[in-house]
Amino acid sequence: MRSVIKLTAAIIVCSTTATFADSNKGIKMPYIEFPMKPGKGMYSTKGKCNMCHSWGYTINQGPQSKAFWRKKVIKMIEVFHAPIKNEDIEEVVAYLYANYGNGEED
C-alpha cells in the first residue's frame, strides 16, 4: 500500500514539473487566411465584420438566405455592440447575400 502511495506521489510530482516546463515553450497557432470574395460592398463589410472575429467565422455558416444574413448582422449589433449604423445594414446584407447567399430571400 505504501509503495502505491509513493508511486502516486511520484507521478503527481513528475506530471506537475512537466506542465511547468511546457508552459515556457510558447504556443504556435496556425494562421489560416479566409479571403473575402471580391464584390460590391466588400471593403465596407470587411471594416465592419472582421474587427472582432475572422471572416472564416462568418462564412463557416455556409450559403444562407438574405433574411438569415440580415438577422446575423442585427444580432452582431444588438448582442455584441458591433459599431454598424442602421443605414449601413442593407449594404452589408447585400454583399453577404450576393456572395454567400443560397438564392432564397427568406
Query: In whole angstroms, how large is the CA radius of gyration of the chain?
Result: 24
Sites for ligand HEC among residues 87-106 (CB under 6 A): 92
| DSSP category for residue 87 | G
Residue 18 phi/psi, 5-degree rounding, is -60, -40
Residue 30 phi/psi, 5-degree rounding, is -70, 140
Of 17 and 61, nearer to ligand HEC (C-beta) is 61
CB of 99: closest distance to ligand HEC in angstroms? 11
Sites for ligand HEC among residues 41-80 (CB under 6 A): 48-49, 51-53, 57-58, 61, 72-73, 75-76, 80
